[in-house]
Amino acid sequence: MQALEIYQQDRTDRAQGDPLPRQQYYTALRDALHRELMHRGYSDLLEQLLLDIRSGLMEKIYVVDYAALMECHSMIVLGRDMRDATEFVPHLHLRGEKASWADLEGPGSFLMTVKGDIVEKLKQLRAVSRQLVDARDDTVIPQADDAAQREIEQVHTLNKMLDERCKSLQQERDEAVQRLRMLEEGIITEQVRYAIEARRLQEEEALRQTYETQREAAKAAFREQFLEELEAARLVREENERTLEAMRETAAADYAAARTSLAGDLRQLTALLETKINAWDNTLDRAECRMLAQSYAALHTLCGAFLDKLALDAASTGADSAVLAGIAEGQRQLRDRVRQLETAINRLGLTILRPAAGEAFNGAYHVAVGVSAGAVGDTIIARCITPGVTVPGAGEALLKAEVELQ
């Protein structure tokens, strides 16, 4: 199947809710698209996508289609080897990590916005595939075949003429045989019969020599013309190779200049970003950090105590499944918010205090809220109830971790 047919069939199957496995669809689309671009220099699917983007009909692209297009771009334009697609989707990341095929098998649109760099890569893919196919085309052989066909037709014409002449000679021979019969009957003499036969043989030999001369002349003319066309094709091929080499050198120089410029811009941007981050860190208010830490502790307590107890109470009282599902969804969302808040605290350069059981109690970082039954000491932590927050290297925590002592 062509790449466009595979693409259209998958859109129909996804709309009906019964698509192929994503890895199988990706492999079929990538192989068909790569085969069309390498053998023909164009693909109906690529032209259709560029037309839809240009006309504004396509603002988002399906991520598996994007992965197949970018893999063909990597192999054809950049000359790289095919990426392994057994576990992860090439060129695709979700939530900052490699996207696996299992992530795409579940329900969801999985669309991404068509940006300018995607359009440029598609245009590059179309242009380079056309150049590669044009560079492989050799117009000499078709022209030589046409010349050879013309020569063959001329030889066939000569053969036809010779056959007609042979038929004529055969007719003359039959007439001579008839005359020989008449000679045998005494109508003409033996000398006349000999003269007629000699004349016939002379005419046949002259005709044969004429045919041989014409055939050798035709073969020599064809050979000379064929050699001239081969030489002309060789000169054209060498000129094309020189032009292509010059284009490659120019492209390499442009790429090196662009890379150098980009590296300079990146260094400037990095320096500016570090300056901004240092200025922001210096102006960060300690009171605001303490308020953030208190909010994190309160949210952690709500997530770890209230909602868990609410879920147990609801389950023990035989609550409706919709209520249990709502509580579970609330737990999941609240845990996500706790993880997001932890990430924000870490990015601010703060450290979350979560002492483990068995650590020594430190009043600068911990606050005791209970004692375990059967304890043998009073300075060993039994468990952490609520995490705290501190600044690395500080003598005292912004928010002390609540712990239970043995």
Predicted confidence band at 378 (pLDDT cuts at 50, 70, 90)? low
Reference 308, options 324, 292, 287, 297; nearest CA is: 324
CA atoms within 13 A on the CB side of 352: 20
pLDDT surpassing 50 at residue 374: no
Measure the CA–CA gap between 66 and 125, rounded to whole angstroms: 13
pLDDT surpassing 50 at residue 139: no
* DSSP string of 348-381, one letter each residue: TT-EEE-PPTTPBP-TTTEEEEEE-TT-S-SSBE
- CA atoms 186, 188, 190, 193: torsion sign: negative
* DSSP string of 94-115, one letter each residue: ETTEEEEHHHHHSSS--EEE--
Give every CB contact of residue 21 below 8 A, 6+ residues apart in sequence.
101, 105
Rounded to an integer, what is the distance from CA 339 to the centroid of its chain? 35
β-pair partners for 402: 367, 386
Lowest-confidence segment of 10-14, 90-94, 152-156, 222-226 by average pLDDT:
152-156
Average pLDDT over residues 227-250: 91
* pLDDT at residue number 190: 66
Are the CB atoms for 351 and 392 separated by under 8 Å?
A: yes
* pLDDT at residue number 254: 83
pLDDT surpassing 90 at residue 26: yes
Tell me the per-residue pLDDT of 267-297, one tens digit each, with 9 for 90 and over: 887 787 777 656 555 555 567 778 888 888 8
Torsion of CA 54, 56, 57, 59, to 10 degrees: 100
Percent of the chain with pLDDT over 70: 85
Give every CB contact of residue 83 below 8 A, 6+ residues apart in sequence.
71, 74, 90, 91
H or E element in which residue 388 lies: strand 388-390
